[in-house]
């Protein structure tokens, strides 16, 4: 009998549409012909090649090794700490929670996959995603043979709370609700953890008094936001996952502050963005001790390697450098937003509280291909939102090179 691979592969895996990463959309590691090097070309740290400015994957453009002499190669003859104790102690102090409420994983993607494995029965249970959003929620659902129920964001990129609540009430198979906030690719905050904290932080920053009385309309907004959380999280007999990969780029309070209020809440964060360690593949889940115990029981024993653990611990200790880099990227973001708004073919630039910007343009694919030919790599998000491009905020020079190319776009035959 002739062997037939399809006969022994799970049907959902055979039919799986894999997640398309930013780097899978072009030949990053192939040869770069000198004839294709643009005026904006430079040596790329990621590829080791000349000619690529990488503004597509929402990385931090700053290399932490430049500022941290502690990032050295550790001894690798021993297995790493299976529970990443040093990292958890540092995070516990910084986040104000117990180490037993922290899971350290091989990127946030491991935590995403474990949530499916722990809480969802293959072929039986369902989850809710709110597109446009991070694509790995849907891909992990397909891998784990879990039905993905899509409840799209509204036209203003807000949660359709009414539809979410109705679906949760009507469908008891739903075990997970995914909320990415700030959301990728739209850049906006979908749900706020603590409006009172946000108000105080804003007024303190602007020189106001911390004990200023709230305006009556803000009092009502506070109550409405609390009602919203009580409905979405407190009223759901499943797990609500708030993915805060871009939390460092917003002034809003993290949902980690609400873990004691909602025992079914899981918060995800990562070292890939603000800390500049995308290559270390390390992410975190914060939740109740009971949920984290399930993570630790289900994960592989040595899921985070020694190199990554040392790099992460060193970066977490370097709080001031991270703060300065985040401030610089936020400044660059605001400058880039203002510059993009001046281009005649840019129809709309959406507000962002992340380290990237989403813009609606005339003929996004044409602009994308033009920039790619100039060795400026961004992300075409038209498959999610028509005629949109996502620009990662790079260094000041990378942003300037991008704008120089975009300003020349209309005068070049493409």
For the chain, the maximum distance between any two Cα atoms, rounded to a whole number of angstroms, is 80
CB proximity list for 117: less than 8 A, separation 6 or greater: 144, 298
Instruction: Flag whether 124 is in a domain.
Output: yes
Please give the residue range of the domain that contains residue 42. 7-66+320-411
Contact 178, 241 (CB under 8 A): yes
Specify whether 198 is located in the same domain as 252.
yes
Contact 282, 305 (CB under 8 A): no
Q: How far is CA 174 from CA 333, 368, 379, in A?
A: 37, 38, 32
Last residue of a domain, one of 277, 302, 317: 317
Instruction: Flag whether 75 is in a domain.
Output: no
Predicted confidence (pLDDT) at residue 84 exceeds the cutoff of 80: yes
In whole angstroms, what separates CA 249 from the centre of its chain? 11
Give me the number of domains the chain comprises: 2
Of the candidates 174, 166, 149, 159, the one whose C-alpha atom is nearest the C-alpha of residue 237 is 174
Is residue 390 classed exposed, middle or buried when 0-12, 13-18 and 19+ CB atoms within 10 A define those classes?
buried
Last residue of a domain, one of 317, 346, 371: 317
Q: pTM score, two decimals?
A: 0.85
What is the per-residue pLDDT for 54?
83
Specify whether 191 is located in the same domain as 240.
yes
Instruction: Flag whether 74 is in a domain.
Output: no
Q: Provide the pLDDT confidence category of residue 72 given band limits of 50, 70 and 90.
A: low
What is the per-residue pLDDT for 327?
96
Specify whether 182 is located in the same domain as 287.
yes
Contact 254, 270 (CB under 8 A): no
pLDDT, one tens digit per residue, over 120-173 is 999 999 999 999 999 999 999 999 999 999 999 999 999 999 999 999 999 999
Q: Give dist(CA 222, CA 389) in Å, integer.
A: 34
Share the mean pLDDT of the chain.
Answer: 86
Instruction: Flag whether 79 is in a domain.
Output: no
Specify whether 15 is located in the same domain as 161.
no
What is the per-residue pLDDT for 66?
61
pLDDT, one tens digit per residue, over 324-379 is 999 999 999 999 999 999 999 999 999 999 999 999 999 999 999 999 999 999 99
**CATH number for the domain harbouring residue 284:** 3.40.640.10
């Amino acid at each position: 009998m002739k062997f037939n691979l399809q006969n022994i592969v799970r049907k959902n895996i055979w039919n799986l549409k894999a997640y398309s990463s930013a780097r899978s959309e072009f030949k990053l590691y192939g040869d770069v012909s000198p004839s294709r090097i643009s005026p904006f070309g430079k040596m790329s740290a990621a590829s080791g090649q000349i000619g690529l400015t990488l503004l597509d994957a929402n990385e931090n453009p700053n290399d932490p090794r430049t500022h941290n002499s502690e990032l050295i190669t550790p001894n690798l003859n021993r297995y790493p700490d299976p529970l990443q104790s040093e990292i958890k102690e540092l995070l516990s102090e910084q986040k104000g929670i117990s180490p037993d409420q922290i899971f350290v994983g091989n990127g946030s993607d491991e935590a995403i996959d474990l949530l499916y494995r722990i809480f969802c029965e293959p072929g039986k249970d369902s989850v809710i995603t709110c597109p446009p959003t991070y694509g790995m929620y849907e891909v992990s659902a397909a891998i784990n043979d879990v039905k993905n129920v899509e409840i799209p964001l509204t036209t203003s990129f807000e949660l359709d709370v009414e539809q979410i609540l109705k679906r949760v009430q009507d469908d008891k198979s739903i075990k997970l609700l995914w909320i990415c906030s700030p959301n990728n690719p739209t850049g906006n905050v979908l749900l706020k953890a603590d409006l009172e904290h946000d108000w105080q932080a804003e007024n303190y920053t602007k020189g106001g008094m911390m004990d200023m009385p709230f305006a009556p309309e803000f009092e009502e907004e506070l109550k409405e936001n609390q009602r919203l959380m009580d409905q979405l999280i407190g009223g759901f007999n499943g797990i609500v996952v708030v993915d805060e990969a871009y939390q460092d780029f917003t002034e809003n309070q993290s949902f980690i502050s609400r873990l004691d209020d909602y025992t079914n809440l899981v918060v995800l964060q990562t070292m890939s963005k603000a800390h500049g360690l995308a290559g270390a593949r390390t992410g975190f889940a914060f939740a109740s001790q009971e949920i984290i115990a399930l993570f630790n029981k289900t994960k592989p024993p040595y899921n985070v390697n020694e190199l990554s653990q040392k790099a992460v611990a060193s970066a977490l200790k370097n709080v001031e450098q991270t703060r300065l880099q985040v401030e610089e990227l936020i400044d660059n973001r605001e400058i880039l937003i203002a510059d993009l708004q001046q281009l005649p073919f840019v129809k709309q630039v959406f507000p962002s509280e992340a380290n990237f910007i989403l813009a609606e343009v005339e003929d996004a694919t044409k602009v994308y291909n033009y920039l790619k030919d100039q060795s400026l790599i961004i992300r075409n998000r038209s498959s999610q939102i028509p005629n949109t491009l996502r620009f990662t905020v790079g260094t000041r020079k990378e942003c300037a090179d991008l704008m120089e190319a975009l300003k020349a776009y209309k005068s070049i035959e493409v």
